[in-house]
């Protein structure tokens, strides 16, 4: 894979090259994604895509999925993530063990983004399932 970012010659503002997928990054400008936020979105997206794929492959009636990221960073440079917590909210009549297994497989085997992070990061996942027909929640 080859991607390219071009510096826009203003502060720390970068944008993808015209022949690359659209992305814009900025070091500190409000409303533009920072590189550390992009990494967080990448972890969330990678694992969420794995989980949706596995649940659909298992023929589980997944109606929706959203994921929330909470991260803590070191106080001193290189200010890397030291802890990450992903919480998945799912809707559908899905067994808890199917979700637990999909999350574990994604994090431990399939998600190339989470597996590219340093192994000493405190990486935690949780989930909530809303089962519409029952109106109940599992955690």
Same-domain status, 74 and 19:
no
16 touches 32 (CB < 8 A): no
Torsion of CA 112, 55, 64, 108, to 10 degrees: -30
pLDDT at 50: 96
pLDDT at 52: 96
Of 59, 63, 58, nearest to 133 by C-alpha is 63
Same-domain status, 7 and 48:
no
Residue 5 domain boundaries:
1-33
Sequence-separated (6 or more) residues with CB below 8 Å from residue 10: none
pLDDT at 12: 86
99 touches 129 (CB < 8 A): yes
pLDDT at 62: 93
pLDDT at 1: 78
Domains in the chain: how many in total?
A: 2
- Supply angle C-alpha 71, 54, 70, rounded to 5: 10
pLDDT at 134: 58
Q: What is the pTM of this model?
A: 0.86
What are the average pLDDT values for consecutive 10-residue runs of the chain, which has 139 residues? 81 82 81 90 96 96 95 96 97 97 97 95 96 64
Same-domain status, 28 and 38:
no
């Amino acid at each position: 894979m080859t991607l390219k970012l071009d510096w826009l010659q203003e502060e720390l503002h970068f944008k993808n090259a015209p022949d690359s997928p659209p992305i814009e990054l900025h070091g500190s400008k409000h409303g533009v994604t920072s590189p550390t936020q992009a990494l967080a979105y990448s972890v969330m997206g990678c694992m969420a895509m794995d989980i949706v794929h596995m649940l659909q492959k298992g023929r589980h009636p997944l109606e929706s999925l959203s994921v929330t990221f909470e991260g803590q960073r070191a106080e001193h440079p290189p200010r890397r993530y030291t802890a990450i917590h992903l919480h998945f909210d799912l809707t559908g009549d899905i067994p808890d063990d199917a979700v637990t297994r999909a999350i574990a497989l994604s994090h431990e085997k399939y998600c190339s983004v989470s597996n590219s992070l340093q192994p000493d990061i405190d990486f935690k996942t949780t989930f909530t399932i809303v089962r519409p027909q029952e109106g109940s929640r599992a955690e």
